[in-house]
Structure 1
Amino acid sequence: MSPVPELDEDDLDAIAPPHLVFHVEQALLGALLLDPHRLGDVTGIAAASFSTAAHAALYTAISTLPPPDPAEHAKNTKWLDHVLTAARKQTRGLTASYLHTLVQVCPWAHHAPAYARMIEAEHARRRLHSAAERLIQATHDASLPHPIQTVLAEADALAAVVDDIASRFPPRAGVLPRTPAPPAAIAPDHTEAVEEEQLLLATATAHPADIDSVRWLLPDDLTLPLHAGLWQCLTTLARRGEPVDPVTVLWEAQQRGLLNDGSEPREVIRLLAEPAGSLDYWGERTLQRSLLATADQAGHHIEAYAGDPANTPFQLVVGARRSLADIAAIRTRWQHATGPMPTRRPRPPPPTRAGPPTTTTAAVAHTARAARATR
């Protein structure tokens, strides 16, 4: 469960947030103050569901104090005084006049379940936004000793939030999010990535027999279009069983139009002629970088969906699951790349074919027949 918002004594009506849910919260709290017995009709929310500390404190007080006798409550404000005293233990800035304001702004007390549903939906949006932010932060945290494990754990936590929202809100028609994809962030410095991808391509060119061991690496995992195209050339030549060297790869690249961007053939040959290290190592490095980039992009997409109040909770679920599917796909390839190698069963020896007779009698008969044939 999300933590209760931080307390702020000035967190009241005078500085109301611009979000519509603030007014919905006021309507619900007013309904419960006016008719405390309607608390039994309110489900799906808790103190942490409210957007301000003052509202969270009031809801906690209302939901924990015994409800008053309806007849007595209609005659005096004794129960309201108890609510105010209990809520002030968490938020000192609350006043009796604010409680009266809440009662006055509530349109209809019997609409309390609808108000609660709106608050639950907005809380779901905030939870999803926060989980997406944590995923994005993890992808950029250079201090993590095991970045992939941390990022995947955050992705799992985000998926759990999505599943919880899906269980609370049934599907409806028109589920696709209307929010456009966010613009690309400032391009990071890919200097290290470019250098490692060049070593990957050169090592694969020098050792084409090893390409089959990194089948989990796809062209889209490489950062530069030229590098992605060259990797596709290498895998294609290796799959066909054709000769692989810098010249044959360059020719394949020309056939695919990869040199139309102005790449110099001499530079491409030089790039492919300087191998170093292990192909598996450079492949894992490239895949790790691609996984982090995929998680970062998915996080930004989900963050944009959650930041758009026009999206319903189920639209958020659909959009988030689509983005999380991209992480799941590359996660599977990462597990294939880094998991234990499967134990290969020894192949059974080929069946023995029937050969010519080897007994002495058969050999003598064969010699006799050969002698007769020469007569």
Structure 2
Amino acid sequence: MPHIPDPDEDDDLDRAPTPKPVHYAEQALLGALLLEPARLADTEPLIAQHFNSHTHAMLFTAIRTLPPPDPADHAKDTAWLNTVLNHARPHAPGLNASYLHALIQFCPHPKHAAAYARMIRADKARRVLCAHAERLASTASDPGLPNPVASVLGMTDDIGRVLDSLAEQFAPHPGSFPRTALPPEVPRQASEEDLDEERLLLATATAYPAEVPHMRWLTEADFLLPLHAALWQAITALVHRGGMVDPVTVLGEAQHRGLLTGTLTPKDLMALVSTPAGSPEYWGEKILQRALLARAQTVAARITTYTDDLANTPHQLITGSRRALADLGSLRTRWTRATAPQHAPAEVTPARRGQPPRATSPPPQPALLSPRTHR
């Protein structure tokens, strides 16, 4: 059986330690086009930007740019191949004639050019989607952004548009949901500042319960500490029942809900809900923002996991990514409600607090409320 030379054996252009399938699809397609230039018509709508290898993209550009040779003349000499090489070499200096001939010999069947082109386009879709997910993860975890939620939501919109575009390019098929096993969610990390904000919400909600009915956009799942989530449920239950709300009544509600334990005493709980600062909506928005950014990181991780699994077809990537984005939908809706003009949060002002605005964290709460005690 004759040996089919591998271009990698003779040339180190764009060599990867472990080439992915698209590497061979690109080689096979270019070999088909160099051998039978008329096959270019079978590759639409492939463009140079779809290629993973810069060298291969430059070769494809040269093939598309130059007039095709006469088939009879092309079968007799290498004049057109030399022209292609001269056109591409300024943009890919390492390119040489032996690489072009190796590509021709590597191509199994020139008539399969359309299939090779589809493989290249599919891999480009994977890389584009992965790049968007990586940018989303980076943005959602960047503490220096002035308006992180707006940036994150803008990026999710971009991903949605990418998915819509890909859906027009790749037809659906049976079994379109990816079977990729997703990694377990990473537990959200709670800094002392984050926990301070949750404590301040509970205290200000107790002090100003009239604002709580406007905060249906905040849910228990948004909290980092389960104890804080349970106390928020207790306070909102009192408010919605029309009961009187103060530290003592919150204590009573917490008792009925079984929240008092050997480590959480009545005195500790009273202290927790007795140090208001600012308004409930102000702190609630900060908690909701943190939850939204954490969910965006989870969405980005899911999409990246899908794109890393080469078994997924483009349509499986589209379906899985859309479901991942949908998980952010409810949080996005609640954020829109929270930040609507009629519910703009009050700033932390001296009039509200009875003292100058806080320059540092509020007084420390009992040690039993640290994330190490209640998880």
TM-score interval for Structure 1 and Structure 2 normalised by the shorter chain: 0.7 to 0.9
Cα displacement string for residues 66-97 of structure 1 (whole angstroms, at most 9, x for unaligned residues): 11111111111111111111111111001111
Identity of aligned residues (%): 52
Residues 125, 313 of structure 1: 8 Å contact kept: yes
| Structure 1 counterpart of 2:240, one-letter code | R
Offset of 1:115 from its aligned partner? 0.8
Q: Distance in 1 between matches of 2:12 and 2:211?
A: 63
Equivalences for 1:1-375 in 2 at 5 Å? 12=13, 15=16, 17-185=18-186, 188-259=189-260, 262-341=263-342
Residues 47, 56 of structure 1: 8 Å contact kept: yes
Q: Distance in 2 between matches of 1:228 and 1:277?
A: 20
Q: Distance in 2 between matches of 1:333 and 1:315?
A: 29
| Deviation larger for 161-170 or 32-41 | 161-170
Offset of 1:242 from its aligned partner? 2.2
| Structure 1 counterpart of 2:57, one-letter code | A
Offset of 1:259 from its aligned partner? 4.7
Offset of 1:196 from its aligned partner? 0.5
Cα displacement string for residues 131-157 of structure 1 (whole angstroms, at most 9, x for unaligned residues): 000111111222222222111111111
| Structure 2 counterpart of 1:109, one-letter code | P
Offset of 1:303 from its aligned partner? 0.9
Residues 37, 69 of structure 2: 8 Å contact kept: yes
| Structure 2 counterpart of 1:151, one-letter code | V
Change (3 A) 1:29 1:255: farther
Could you tell me which runs of 5 or more consecutive residues in structure 2 were left unpaired when the two chains were aligned: 1-10, 344-375
Cα displacement string for residues 94-137 of structure 1 (whole angstroms, at most 9, x for unaligned residues): 11111111111111111111111111111111000000001111
Q: Distance in 2 between matches of 1:16 and 1:121?
A: 22
RMSD of equivalent CA atoms: 2.0
Residues 16, 22 of structure 1: 8 Å contact kept: no
How many residues align? The count is: 333
Residues 129, 302 of structure 1: 8 Å contact kept: yes
Q: Distance in 1 between matches of 2:313 and 2:259?
A: 44
Offset of 1:250 from its aligned partner? 3.5
Offset of 1:186 from its aligned partner? 7.5
Residues 253, 259 of structure 1: 8 Å contact kept: yes
Could you tell me which runs of 5 or more consecutive residues in structure 1 were left unpaired when the two chains were aligned: 1-9, 343-375
Offset of 1:298 from its aligned partner? 0.7
Cα displacement string for residues 27-75 of structure 1 (whole angstroms, at most 9, x for unaligned residues): 1111111111111111232111111111111111111111111111111
Cα displacement string for residues 324-361 of structure 1 (whole angstroms, at most 9, x for unaligned residues): 1122321221111112229xxxxxxxxxxxxxxxxxxx
Residues 216, 334 of structure 1: 8 Å contact kept: yes
Q: Distance in 2 between matches of 1:27 and 1:186?
A: 45
Cα displacement string for residues 223-245 of structure 1 (whole angstroms, at most 9, x for unaligned residues): 11111121122222211212323
| Deviation larger for 238-247 or 269-278 | 238-247
Change (3 A) 1:261 1:141: farther
Residues 27, 102 of structure 1: 8 Å contact kept: yes
Q: Distance in 2 between matches of 1:178 and 1:335?
A: 33
Q: Distance in 2 between matches of 1:211 and 1:47?
A: 57
Matched residue of 1:341: which SS? helix
Offset of 1:313 from its aligned partner? 1.1
Q: Distance in 1 between matches of 2:192 and 2:12?
A: 47
Q: Distance in 2 between matches of 1:243 and 1:186?
A: 36
Offset of 1:176 from its aligned partner? 2.1
Offset of 1:253 from its aligned partner? 3.4
Change (3 A) 1:236 1:109: same
Matched residue of 2:99: which SS? helix
| Structure 2 counterpart of 1:89, one-letter code | P
| Structure 1 counterpart of 2:181, one-letter code | P
Change (3 A) 1:91 1:321: same
Cα displacement string for residues 253-295 of structure 1 (whole angstroms, at most 9, x for unaligned residues): 3444445695444322211111111111111111111111111
| Deviation larger for 105-114 or 330-339 | 330-339
Q: Distance in 1 between matches of 2:321 and 2:53?
A: 26
Q: Distance in 2 between matches of 1:101 and 1:336?
A: 61
